[in-house]
A = this chain, B = another copy of it.
Amino acid sequence: METARSAAMPAYQRIAAAYRGLIISGELRPDDRLPTEHEIADRFGVVRQTVRTGLGILVTEGLIVARRPHGYFVRRREHMVYRPQEKSRPRPATPEMDRFSQQIVAEGRTPHQAIEVSLVQAAPDLAQRLGIMAGQTVVARRRVRFINGEPTNINDSHFPIDLVKDSEIMSPAYLPRGTDQVLADLGYRQDRAIDEIFIRMPTPEEIHRLSLGPGTPVAAHYDTGYTAAGQPVQCTLNVLPGDRHKIVFERHWQGEPAG
């Protein structure tokens, strides 16, 4: 268990570096157990608290998890593919499922979602994207999507209330047509969207809704849809935990043809 720069680094960092190395090199594999805090403390000649500080780093890096009273285990991660581009393709003709559910079923897994509709005051970030004043009322369709019973991502759609009041969008029921089609039928067909993705640590609310462990960063994906006239008509915030997703899209070259 060599430690590189041993002398210069504080003990807790040496401990973190040692086990990080074992994990990255593959010597410790997913679901493998680390020694107990007491054992590590003895090996490195420090007290338990120092070990905790070191392992705490690896926990916040998302490399290990603590399971009391079993010990620390190397974390396993598998990524669901998230394709923002798919949203602007015509929806396949299976009106009883949205794209998310279709993809999950195609992967042989079981989707589930709970929709909740509420009226909220637009936070500044949302208001700016929807072109309204902060604090104005918007309709929020908030949902957490589950795969095999586990919360996987957040999908909160927001609409200016003037556009959708009295429409189906106000109903917490699942809309087979999709909200984009409902908006189109109301005369607000979208033909352009701007996607913005921020990388950050989750808020406590997000941690709660997604049952996130510590050390899990998220991507916050704002999808703002515009009509041909340039009016923003919806803004959806997708929150994707980093340990459960990869974002994938494809590009084809514009300009002179290949040859």
Q: Which residues of B contact A89 (CB under 8 A)?
A: 254-255
* Contact partner, A219, options B195, B196, B199, B204, Cβ 8 Å: B199
A54 at the interface (CB under 8 A from B): no
Q: Known A189-B259, A190-B253, A259-B189; judge A246-B62 contact (CB<8 A).
A: no
Cα separation A87 to B204 with both chains bound (whole Å): 36
Cα separation A20 to B241 with both chains bound (whole Å): 20
Q: List 19 A-B contacts (CB under 8 A).
A: A17-B204, A60-B215, A62-B201, A89-B255, A190-B253, A191-B252, A192-B251, A192-B253, A194-B251, A195-B247, A196-B248, A197-B219, A199-B199, A199-B219, A199-B240, A199-B241, A217-B242, A227-B258, A228-B258
Cα separation A248 to B224 with both chains bound (whole Å): 11
- Size of A's binding interface in residues, CB under 8 A: 53
Contacting pair B20 A84 (CB below 8 A): no
Q: Mark A185-213, 1 if CB is under 8 A from B, else 0.
A: 00001111111111111011000000000
A90 at the interface (CB under 8 A from B): yes
Contacting pair A201 B258 (CB below 8 A): no
Q: Which residues of B contact A17 (CB under 8 A)?
A: 204
Binding site for B on A (CB under 8 A): 17, 20, 24, 60-62, 79, 84-85, 87-90, 189-201, 203-204, 215, 217-219, 227-228, 240-243, 245-259
Q: Known A79-B198, A204-B20; judge A90-B254 contact (CB<8 A).
A: yes
Contacting pair B199 A217 (CB below 8 A): yes
Contacting pair A193 B250 (CB below 8 A): yes
Q: Which residues of B contact A84 (CB under 8 A)?
A: 249, 251
Q: Which residues of B contact A254 (CB under 8 A)?
A: 88-90
Q: Known A89-B255, A201-B215; judge A192-B250 contact (CB<8 A).
A: yes
* Contact partner, A197, options B201, B204, B247, Cβ 8 Å: B247
Cα separation A25 to B54 with both chains bound (whole Å): 32
Chain B residue nearest in CB terms to A63: B201
